[in-house]
Amino acid sequence: MKNLVAQAKKIKLVIFDVDGVLTNGVLVYNKDGHELKEFHVHDGQGIKLLLQARIEVAIITTCRSTIVAKRMHDLGIQHVYQNQTDKLMAYEDLKKKLNLTDEQILYVGDDFPDLPVMARVGLSITVANAPAIMQKHAMATTIAKGGKGAAREICDFVLESQNLYQSLLKPYLS
């Protein structure tokens, strides 16, 4: 755990996959064939706290969805990469754009398309309900499931590791 905290102290960018990480991974379609997605409010608050602490947040996902675009806009996430079959290309573009090293980046993924990026970053995390093979390749696994507070757990971990959590909490306690 100490090694994870030491690594989390260096993080300047957190990248999330969407389906299975920010959602529960279940695909739901309405009667007209339009996809529906469910996002957890605690995950959104965690992301907002990261941004408030000046830690960049990005999304790299294989899907293309107006729902994802809307949710990321509502959260204030500026770096949204959708329809990325090669997530490593998006990752390299983002790393260059933000002038960061691999060591300064945390990636959260849950399935095979995430592995190339997870192998590069300074800290890789998967969610509790990810396939076992993903848990073997990640540096850590959340307690919460994807779409059920896992992203908040990760946000809190980074903020606490960098001693930023208390200062973010102050306005709510006064």
- For 20: left if phi > 0, alpha if psi spans -120 to 50, otherwise beta; the answer is left
Q: Average of pLDDT values for 134-149?
A: 97
Report all structural domains of the chain as residue ranges with CATH numbers, in order of start.
2-173 (3.40.50.1000)
Residue 174, pLDDT > 80, answer: no
pLDDT at 2: 65
The tens digit of pLDDT for each residue in 66-123 reads 999 999 999 999 999 999 999 999 999 999 999 999 999 999 999 999 999 999 999 9
